[in-house]
Amino acid sequence: MLGPQSAFVMYEEELNQINEVLNKLLRDSNSKVIFLVDKNGQLISAVGETENLDTTSLASLTAGNIAATGGLAKLIGEKEFSILFHEGEKDNIHISIVAQRVILVVIFDQRSSLGLVRLRVKKASDELGRIFEDLTQKTEEQERSGQSQSPFAEITDDDIDNLFK
Amino acid sequence: MSFINYASREINCKIVYYGPGLCGKTTNLQYIYQKTDPTAKGKMISLATETERTLFFDFLPLALGEIRGFKTRFHLYTVPGQVFYDASRKLILKGVDGVVFVADSQEERLDANIESLENLKDNLEEQGYRLEDLPFVMQYNKRDLPNVSSMEELRELLNPDGVPEYEACATTGEGVFETVKAVAKLILLELKKGG
Ligand SMILES: Nc1nc2c(ncn2[C@@H]2O[C@H](COP(=O)(O)OP(=O)(O)OP(=O)(O)O)[C@@H](O)[C@H]2O)c(=O)[nH]1
Ligand SMILES: [Mg+2]
């Protein structure tokens, strides 16, 4: 397990794999938008009709939503609610937890259905789970071999001060 | 827990504003929001009660610029300060990279500050963090009011370890940017160490 302090790292290779899975899910489930968020509210990826969407806000609220329902779950003796579903007049949101650490959000309208989304999400979740397992392993290996070399290892006080000009 | 994205060359960090009810956490974020260039900020989200008390959190995404080709983004959150929202406070603290404690300088809020700071330590410990190990800065807010405790007294009770501290008036913005810069800087220095 990664400690509470260590960073969550994403590499190009894994992000490409993730986007492949998300794009396939988008097609197979006939949905409008799909995004992946880490449990702390950081957006990992978004595919579909994202142009008019404030994905940063969506990511933060989704994480808040999952955190709040997770709190509710604990209070009644459940580990977590792994799926949430919100039904709107036109659009619906299907939210599920993948690999215990990331949140998969699917927005769909009448062109799709809850049944179809559920089915396709299940398959995509397995694939995403595997990618995140690889990612965790990769991060750990890099850390162990000491070559994780944070891009910030070399920064100077000047670099930081320049940010705040 | 910061999020380093090599694919998009971005780094995201989470800053949490903590402190007793009505100390001015939301006002800090509102001031930053108002004074930040539109290109550098996202929407500010406030989940609040009808009387403007924070119910779950405020959220403000800030983009600071680039370091070594990486875009640095900070996600600012406030917790609800009212005592009975403790469950929500614990949730907001998850994955935190740096903490700002906003103290209410008014004499009659001294106990509330101490209690809230203890609550912060407890809630962090529950998640395996120690406040001493985190980037942490102290803000003494509402210095404009007449009935404030002396800086000596506040320092002794709230900041015995001598973390960076700032006097502030969040309504006029005094000390607000100094505070957020200080905690952002500590976070970046932590990343430099390879945290
Ligand atoms: N005089 C003065 N008033 C302030 C200052 N900062 C905040 N206030 C006022 O204090 C009140 C509460 O401020 P908020 O920012 O909502 O407080 P909060 O810490 O977010 O409170 P909760 O959401 O309940 O935890 C508001 O009326 C602010 O205008 C300050 O520096 N000086
Ligand atoms: Mg508030």
pLDDT of B190 higher than 50: yes
The ipTM of this complex is 0.83
pLDDT interval class at A3 (50, 70, 90): very low
Which atom of ligand 1 is least distant from the CA of B20?
25
pLDDT at residue A147 in the model: 62
Task: Give long-range contacts, CB 8 A cutoff, 24+ apart: A131-134.
Answer: A131/A14, A131/A17, A131/A18, A131/A21, A132/A98, A132/A99, A132/A101, A132/A102, A133/A99, A134/A14
Confirm if B131 and B147 have CB atoms less than 8 A apart: no
Instruction: Kindly determine whether residue B68 and residue A16, on different chains, have CB atoms separated by under 8 Å.
Output: no
- B152 Cβ contact list (under 8 Å, min separation 6): none
Encode pLDDT of B162-171 as tens digits. 999 999 999 9
C-alpha to C-alpha distance for B87 and B123, rounded to whole angstroms: 9
Which residues of chain B does A67 touch, with a Cβ-Cβ cutoff of 8 Å? 91-92, 94
Contact A164 B195 (CB under 8 A): no
Instruction: Find the radius of gyration of the CA atoms of chain B.
Output: 16
Kindly state the tokens that stand for A32: 């409008």
- Residues of A within an 8 Å Cβ radius of B: 2-12, 14-16, 38-42, 44, 54, 56-57, 60-61, 64, 67-68, 70-71, 148, 150-155, 159-160, 162-164
pLDDT surpasses 90 at A45: yes
User: Which ligand neighbours the alpha carbon of B89 most closely?
Assistant: 1
Pairwise CA distance, residues A135 & B182, whole Å: 32
Structure-model confidence comparison of residues A156 and B120, the more confident one: B120
Chain centroid to CA A47: how far? 12
Residue B90 pLDDT > 80 = yes
Given a cut of 60, whether residue B68 has pLDDT beyond it is: yes
Query: What is the average pLDDT across B23-33?
Result: 98
Q: Give me the count of residues in chain B.
A: 195
Type of residue at B9: R
In angstroms, the Cα distances linking B170 to B23, B145, B179 are 9, 12, 11
Reported pTM? 0.92
Span B52-78, average pLDDT: 92
Q: Do A6 and B68 touch (CB under 8 A)?
A: no
Chain A partners within 8 Å of B79 (Cβ): none
Mean pLDDT to the nearest integer, B111-117? 98
Residue A60 to residue B45, Cβ atoms within 8 A: yes
A69 vs B contacts (CB less than 8 Å): none
Comparing CA positions, the residue from B182, B7, B57 lying closest to residue A15 is B7
Map out the domains of chain B with their CATH numbers: 3-192 (3.40.50.300)
pLDDT tens for residues A118-158? 999 999 999 999 999 999 999 888 877 766 566 777 788 88
Ligand 1 centroid vs B171 CA: distance in angstroms? 8
**For B61, which residue in chain A has the nearest alpha carbon?**
A56
Query: Which pLDDT score, from 0 to 100, does residue A121 have?
Result: 97
Residue B17 CA: nearest ligand 1 atom is 19
Apex B139 CA angle, B136 and B141, nearest 5: 160
Element (H, E) at A104: strand A102-108
Quote the pLDDT of residue A146.
67
A6 neighbors B128 (Cβ within 8 angstroms)? no
Enter the CATH code of domain A12-163.
Answer: 3.30.450.30
Question: Would you call A27 helix, strand, or coil by DSSP?
Answer: helix
Measure Cα distances from B39 to B30, B61, B116 in Å. 16, 11, 35
Domain range summary for chain A, segments of one domain joined by +: 12-163
Q: What is the DSSP string of B106-118?
A: BGGGHHHHHHHHH
Token pair for residue A164?
Answer: 């705040």
Q: Read off the tokens for A70.
A: 């997770």
Report the alpha-carbon distance of residue B22 to residue B170 in Å, rounded.
12
pLDDT of residue B20: 98
Length of chain A: 165
The pLDDT, as a whole number, for residue A165 is 66
Single out the residue of B121, B117, B56 nearest to residue B88, CA to CA: B56
Higher-scoring residue by pLDDT: B118, B49:
B118
